[in-house]
């Protein structure tokens, strides 16, 4: 290997920019094998070294896009039924889910893979029922899917993917918290719930890096640690 290429690979590994370079070619193929490494071979190496990560990223991407589509429809349904704040909540969640989807897509592309879009099958019920659907969706993400995903992909050490999945999990926790907060103190009666939600002047702000969803702009993002300039106020649903 010529000196320039060796230095380049070493610098990339040091910078931690591309996980591929963190495995030295010598470790992968031996002294003889490193001569055979060509850029075209990276994809094959990735599909071997990050097999589980790729499977999980594809699954998570599909679920996030599915959630994005569902929340967009729930938002329209809420508007139709006259619940503008609930429509706004769903619209904001839809934005956050698309940010998670984008992050998973980017991680897949960096591994030489393409995401697969979900076949759209979304049941839109009444807004009251859609809120219930949203809570159970978020709970599944928090309690089952994402913790499982993190456990599975940790061993493969593709840190961009681990970060993307961890950020999505933290953001879904915020969603679930917001949904529960809306219900809190209103009892179990829908009429009281909708009165409370619709009576509030609410605003949603979303971190464009990680999808963090908050009702106030923080000093720094509590999930990804980026400055608050990455937060965008979501426009009301209309
Ligand atoms: Zn963030």
Query: If you measure from the C-alpha of residue 43 to the centroid of ligand 1, how many angstroms do you get, rounded to a whole number?
Result: 29
Query: If you measure from the C-alpha of residue 210 to the centroid of ligand 1, how many angstroms do you get, rounded to a whole number?
Result: 4
Query: Please, which pLDDT band fits residue 137 given cuts at 50, 70 and 90?
Result: confident
Query: If you measure from the C-alpha of residue 159 to the centroid of ligand 1, how many angstroms do you get, rounded to a whole number?
Result: 16
Query: If you measure from the C-alpha of residue 237 to the centroid of ligand 1, how many angstroms do you get, rounded to a whole number?
Result: 23
- Residue 185: its pLDDT value, please? 41
Query: If you measure from the C-alpha of residue 211 to the centroid of ligand 1, how many angstroms do you get, rounded to a whole number?
Result: 6
Query: If you measure from the C-alpha of residue 1 to the centroid of ligand 1, how many angstroms do you get, rounded to a whole number?
Result: 40
- Residue 5: its pLDDT value, please? 42
Question: Would the pLDDT of 126 be above 70?
Answer: yes
Query: If you measure from the C-alpha of residue 169 to the centroid of ligand 1, how many angstroms do you get, rounded to a whole number?
Result: 12
- Residue 49: its pLDDT value, please? 85
187 against 218, higher pLDDT: 218
- Residue 128: its pLDDT value, please? 84
Mean per-residue pLDDT, 17-39: 37
Q: Output the six-digit token pair for 80.
A: 């139709």
Question: Would the pLDDT of 39 be above 50?
Answer: no
Query: If you measure from the C-alpha of residue 167 to the centroid of ligand 1, how many angstroms do you get, rounded to a whole number?
Result: 8
Percentage of residues of the chain with pLDDT beyond 90:
56
Task: Classify domain 47-233 at the CATH class level.
Answer: mainly alpha
Query: If you measure from the C-alpha of residue 207 to the centroid of ligand 1, how many angstroms do you get, rounded to a whole number?
Result: 5
Query: If you measure from the C-alpha of residue 226 to the centroid of ligand 1, how many angstroms do you get, rounded to a whole number?
Result: 6
User: How far does Cα 156 stand from its chain's mean position?
Assistant: 19
Q: pLDDT of 57-116, one tens digit each?
A: 999 999 999 999 999 999 999 999 988 888 999 999 999 999 999 999 999 999 999 999
In angstroms, rounded to a whole number, what is the distance separating the alpha carbons of residues 94 and 207? 13
Percentage of residues of the chain with pLDDT beyond 70:
74
pTM for the full predicted model: 0.76
Query: If you measure from the C-alpha of residue 168 to the centroid of ligand 1, how many angstroms do you get, rounded to a whole number?
Result: 10
Domain with CATH 1.20.1260.10 in the chain: 47-233
Query: If you measure from the C-alpha of residue 50 to the centroid of ligand 1, how many angstroms do you get, rounded to a whole number?
Result: 25
Query: If you measure from the C-alpha of residue 193 to the centroid of ligand 1, how many angstroms do you get, rounded to a whole number?
Result: 30
Give me Rg for the CA atoms of the chain: 21
Q: pLDDT of 182-208, one tens digit each?
A: 665 444 455 556 666 677 788 999 999
Query: If you measure from the C-alpha of residue 209 to the centroid of ligand 1, how many angstroms do you get, rounded to a whole number?
Result: 5
Question: Would the pLDDT of 1 be above 60?
Answer: no
Among 24-28, 94-98, 152-156, 204-208, whose mean pLDDT is lowest? 24-28
34 against 234, higher pLDDT: 234
Write b or e for each residue in 168-193: b if 16 or more Cβ atoms lie within 10 A of its Cβ, otherwise e: bbbbbbbbbebbeebeeeeeeeeeeb
- Residue 12: its pLDDT value, please? 37
- Residue 129: its pLDDT value, please? 87
120 against 69, higher pLDDT: 69
In angstroms, rounded to a whole number, what is the distance separating the alpha carbons of residues 91 and 120? 18
């Amino acid at each position: 290997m010529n000196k320039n290429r060796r230095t380049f690979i070493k610098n990339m590994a040091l910078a931690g920019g591309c996980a591929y370079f963190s495995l030295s070619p010598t470790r992968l193929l031996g002294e003889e094998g490193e001569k055979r490494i060509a850029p075209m071979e990276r994809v094959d190496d990735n599909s071997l070294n990050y097999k589980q990560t790729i499977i999980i990223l594809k699954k998570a991407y599909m679920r996030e896009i599915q959630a994005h589509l569902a929340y967009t429809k729930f938002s329209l349904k809420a508007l139709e039924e006259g619940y503008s704040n609930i429509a706004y909540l769903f619209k904001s969640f839809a934005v956050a889910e698309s940010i998670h989807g984008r992050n998973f897509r980017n991680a897949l592309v960096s591994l030489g893979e393409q995401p697969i879009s979900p076949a759209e099958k979304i049941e839109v019920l009444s807004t009251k029922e859609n809120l219930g659907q949203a809570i159970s969706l978020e709970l599944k993400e928090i309690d089952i899917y994402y913790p499982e995903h993190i456990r599975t992909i940790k061993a493969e050490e593709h840190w961009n993917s681990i970060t993307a999945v961890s950020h999505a999990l933290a953001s879904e926790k915020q969603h679930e918290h917001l949904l529960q907060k809306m219900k809190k103190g209103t009892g179990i009666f829908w009429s009281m719930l909708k009165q409370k939600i619709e009576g509030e002047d609410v605003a949603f702000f979303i971190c464009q890096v990680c999808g963090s969803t908050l009702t106030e702009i923080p000093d720094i993002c509590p999930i990804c640690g980026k400055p608050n300039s990455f937060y965008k106020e979501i426009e009301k649903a209309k």
